[in-house]
């Protein structure tokens, strides 16, 4: 697992946002999700944004409410 795919990383956050039907909003957390600093799109590298986008489009499984 690398920094992009770890829990709280860009890929993980993209995947979670898609699963919970949240809007496309590239971001990630420097450590644990919701318990560490959030990094916004404006502060992300192109590679981090691409990882978020890959996570967002990876799985078609969505939460049914």
Model pLDDT for residues 10-30, shown as the tens digit of each residue: 999 999 999 999 999 999 999
User: Global pTM?
Assistant: 0.88
Question: Would you call 37 exposed, middle or buried from its count of C-beta atoms within 10 A (0-12, 13-18, 19+)?
Answer: exposed
pLDDT of residue 1: 57
How do beta strands 38-40 and 27-29 pair? Answer: antiparallel
What are the angstrom distances between the C-alpha of 8 and each of 33, 37, 50?
Answer: 5, 10, 15
Query: Which among 58, 47, 50, 65 is positioned nearest to 17, based on CA atoms?
Result: 58
Model pLDDT for residues 31-64, shown as the tens digit of each residue: 999 999 999 999 999 999 999 999 999 877 788 7
pLDDT of residue 18: 95
From CA 56, how far away is CA 24, in angstroms rounded?
7
């Amino acid at each position: 697992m690398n920094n992009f795919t770890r829990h709280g990383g860009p890929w993980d956050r993209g995947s979670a946002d898609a699963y919970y039907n949240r809007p496309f909003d590239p971001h990630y957390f420097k450590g644990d999700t919701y318990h560490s600093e959030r990094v916004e799109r404006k502060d992300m590298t192109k590679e981090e944004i691409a990882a978020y986008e890959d996570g967002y489009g990876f799985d078609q499984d969505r939460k049914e409410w």
